[in-house]
Amino acid sequence: MDVDRCAFDLLQLNTPLVESIRETIRAQGPQSFAWFMQQALYHPAYGYYSSSRCAIGRNGDYFTNVSVGPLFGQLLASQFCEIWERLGKVNDFVIVEQGAHDGQFALDVLEFVQNCLPQFFDALRYRILEPFPILKQQQRQRLEAFGDKVKWPDSPEPFTGVHFSNELLDAMPVSLISDGTEKLVGLNGDKFGFVERRVHKTISNQAALDCIDEIAANLQRGYVIAIDYGFLYEEFERNVRVRSQHRNLDSPFEQIGYADITMSVDWTSIVERAQANGLCVAGFTDQHHFLTGIISQFGRGGSPEPPSGDRDQSPLADSRKAKRELQTLLHPEMLGRAFQVLVLAKNLDASAPPLAGFKFARERRMR
Ligand SMILES: C[S@@+](CC[C@H](N)C(=O)[O-])C[C@H]1O[C@@H](n2cnc3c(N)ncnc32)[C@H](O)[C@@H]1O
């Protein structure tokens, strides 16, 4: 066996995906980082997400709020229920989730609502926007018990309710443009590297902006809740993060198709795009303050729905496990400060009091 050759292959990952990326660059010249990210994460056959290679949680590549445990979904379910009440307890209240991965968040929400918020459960419809067949299949299996309550539309449909995403926008392809210079992905022999070009364009997060356009076009009345890690103007720092097995890798050219690639979300441009589409900001804060607000309003049985029977309506089970989950979600050095929550509203009374999640929100300047 040629040991040197094996080591080289391992380092470079000479997979069909890497070969196909090289082929395109050889034929067409350096490509945008957005194109590279699209291949690495979403290539139909070999992408990190689209081939279902991605694993989230303790035995995977990274943690998300959802992988911490069911508490996150339970707290958000209470917030969704308050929104349903704000909308006059409409009959067909739709939660649209995008970036649902294996369906765990949907399961946590639906189980909690079914057990603790029965009136809301009757009115609720859950829709998952999932472009990747293999993930859709996993979601269907996980959510089988909920039958027709959950559906997977082929394309986005008009809805009244909430659009929810957790770490969706940071997983969308971005170009690397700064001060009129774009970093493109090129080849030096077989090795990937960046090539700089002067450019006139300035938009780097086109995919995320298109996503906002699509949500705004379909939301008839209700809210958009986006949770992600990102920055406002004044905190401008743009980092491509590459993660595998709970380690940050040094370069996006390591473990292509086997590692996660994300970019911190430019919240300001997201808000500007949303406003241009007729949405308004209903709140922006960090996850710590958002979840604390929900807990303070609904955490001790203060459910938005009146009590029914003997069901326990508190999303805060009094177990050690739930306390550990809570600490992970809230602690500033864990997930509490890392993530921000943006809530956008459409066709709602602008003078309405803030949602529970913004009860303790510190003022953040949004232009
Ligand atoms: C970082 S993961 C987050 C998964 C899950 N929300 C969680 O918090 O555990 C990002 C997810 O977004 C999905 N995704 C990326 N672009 C998407 C799109 N345009 N529509 C739907 N899902 C998308 C990916 O497939 C992946 O499952």
- The per-residue pLDDT for 304 is 60
For ligand 1, say whether the CB of 66 is within 6 Å of any of its atoms.
yes
Distance from residue 267's CA to the centre of ligand 1 (Å): 18
The amino acid occupying position 132 is F
Ligand 1, from 43, 101, 169, 210: best to mutate by most atoms within 8 Å of Cβ? 101
For ligand 1, say whether the CB of 226 is within 6 Å of any of its atoms.
no
Largest CA distance in the chain: 72
Number of residues assigned to the chain: 367
The two three-digit tokens of residue 201, written as one number: 């364009």
Which helix H or strand E contains 37, and what residues bound it? Answer: helix 33-42
Residue identified by tokens 């090129």 is: 186
pLDDT band for position 299 (50/70/90)?
confident
- Asked if residues 150 and 142 have their Cβ atoms less than 8 Å apart, the reply is no
The two three-digit tokens of residue 38, written as one number: 């699209």
Closest CA to 292 of 358, 227, 338: 358
In 253-301, which residue ranges form alpha helices assigned H by DSSP? 267-276, 287-298
- What average pLDDT score do residues 283-295 get? 95
For ligand 1, say whether the CB of 98 is within 6 Å of any of its atoms.
yes
- R_g of the chain, CA atoms, integer Å: 21
For ligand 1, say whether the CB of 133 is within 6 Å of any of its atoms.
no
- What average pLDDT score do residues 122-127 get? 98
Strand partners, 127: 96, 151
In tens, the pLDDT along 199-250 reads 999 999 999 999 999 999 999 999 999 999 998 865 545 679 999 999 999 9
- What average pLDDT score do residues 62-82 get? 96
CB burial string 319-338: b at 16+ within 10 A, e below? eeebeebbebbbeeeebbee
The two three-digit tokens of residue 356, written as one number: 């529970």
Distance from residue 134's CA to the centre of ligand 1 (Å): 13
For ligand 1, say whether the CB of 138 is within 6 Å of any of its atoms.
no
Residue identified by tokens 């700064």 is: 178
Task: Say whether 92 sits in a helix, a strand or coil.
Answer: coil
Q: Whose CA is nearest to atom 12 of ligand 1?
A: 99
Task: Say whether 190 sits in a helix, a strand or coil.
Answer: coil
Phi-psi region of 175 (alpha: psi -120 to 50; beta: other; left: phi over 0): beta
Q: Whose CA is nearest to atom 2 of ligand 1?
A: 167
Residues near 256 by beta carbon (within 8 Å), at least 6 away in sequence: 13, 15, 17, 18, 21, 39, 40
Q: Whose CA is nearest to atom 4 of ligand 1?
A: 101
In tens, the pLDDT along 164-180 reads 999 999 999 999 998 89
The two three-digit tokens of residue 195, written as one number: 């090539």
Query: Cα–Cα distance between 231 and 92 in angstroms, integer?
Result: 35
In tens, the pLDDT along 316-349 reads 667 888 889 999 999 988 898 889 999 999 999 8
Distance from residue 172's CA to the centre of ligand 1 (Å): 8
Atom of ligand 1 nearest to the CA of 165: 6
Phi-psi region of 251 (alpha: psi -120 to 50; beta: other; left: phi over 0): beta
- What average pLDDT score do residues 284-302 get? 87
Q: Is 136 exposed, middle or buried (0-12, 13-18, 19+ CB in 10 A)?
A: middle
Atom of ligand 1 nearest to the CA of 49: 25
Residues near 145 by beta carbon (within 8 Å), at least 6 away in sequence: none
- In the predicted model, is pLDDT for residue 365 greater than 80? no
